[in-house]
Structure 1
Amino acid sequence: MISSQRQHLILSRLRTRGAVRITSLSQELGVSAMTIRRDISELSDKGLLTRVHGGAITANSLLSEPLFSVKSQMDVDLKDAIARKAVSYVAPGDVIAIGGGTTAYIFAQHLIESQRSNGVTILTNSIPVAELVQSLESKDVDVIVTGGVITRSNSLVGPIADKVVGSLRVNTVFLGTHSVSIPRGFLMPNSLEAATDMAMMGIADRTVILTDHTKWRCTSLSLFARFDQVDTVISDDGLDSKSAAKTRNLVKELVLAHQDEQTEERE
């Protein structure tokens, strides 16, 4: 087991238990106590946990991955504004990919309600997005589901998902993110989900990240995209000016949606 996998498991145990002991992790993972101490030290340096004598405790509740049902009730107005803005990045007949998460789901809702969805094919690893499209049988929208292992956010990830994704090609991929780290990029708490997001980016002509301004205050484990790998970041006007300026210097396009703004059509 490589270090990133061990560290993901350590954070996973922290999310469920609130604290972990070096001796228990050493026995569970079959590695030396020194190796666990080194992993905990690296995670502590990243701000992902707090070291204590004999183990570690959770540093920040935002490190955990809430259930989809929980996230769907958070920052709804911000996500809605971002989703409406993102619809203008789709043209009728496009083949697009939509990742997991609640902002991506709201984007799918708005897209299907618009004329831009005519003839669109959607590749997704999101169970809620797939169910949404499938429930609207009269719409001229096709959906391809990746398959894979289900995460807490109702996303399908892992080798099966990555293999399906790798066999296809799309015009644009729309992805959410758990956190935005300057100057690193975009991160997820689940390393398998990060890998599947990377696979989706690899088959897309254009990558669009959908994320509200609160994600600039979060931290997470697995990097899935650098700023220079992303074409457009769509956020909301709650993003502070300092973070916005730094992000604009790193990414090709930063778009800030206004909650009371009617989305304009793009050419």
Structure 2
Amino acid sequence: MSTTESTSLYDNLEQMDIRSLLENINREDQKVAFAVEKEIPSIDALISQIVPRMSKGGRLFYIGAGTSGRLGILDASECPPTYGVPFDWVVGIIAGGDAAIRKAVENAEDDPLQAWKDIMEFGFNENDTVIGIAASGTTPYVIGGVKAAREAGLLTGCITCNNGSPLAEAVEYPIQVVVGPEFVTGSTRMKSGTAQKLVLNMISTTTMIKLGRVKGNKMVDMQLSNEKLVKRGTRMIMETTGLDEKTAFDLLMNHGSVRAAVESFYKK
């Protein structure tokens, strides 16, 4: 039996009081970061291949089903506002299409041919990367997608929570974060989902930093899509240049990004 399907270390959950349930869930969650730490060399190896490809115009595709697909979409959708990159630099694709983001689509994950068709809607080039996300490592949609991508010459990686899975065997750069049995047996939206989210954060954040989308420790290319972000951008400019708030705000509004505003200030 795979680790993700193995029996919980806890039983008679319905008989536990609320405090005990919370403490035991938290106890299991604390294991996740240590499991991710063990896979840092594998994450490093994959990112080291992604960055030079994206610097040449490649894109990053996440493919997954269910929770895994939703996590990929979440990470991808946050890259444009956070780093000011085009919406198609990082693309999240879920089995069953956008309808499956909110509601499960029956049998969508069982078609091994559909993921590549979904990727093809975006076109592809030799510098693209496809990362398959599946806690079990057995999802046909994901396995079929990475196999087709690899055959087409694209870089392939995966994030799974079982060792030696078919998905890991199908890619060049597997990341296998084994977090142990779930608190509720087989509920991989819990520890496995948390592990996948942590790894996705590491991949996208590190990649964007190495592509120059962060300066110092600041998101200098973030989209100014609401008042909170405008205020954040204004503070960044004030801290960097020593300008007062009104002048920093005006400079930001005139140039549209923290990066452009600061560069304009120092060109004077």
Q: Which has the higher strand share?
A: 1
TM > 0.5 fold call: no
TM score, norm. by length of structure 2:
0.36
TM score, norm. by length of structure 1:
0.36
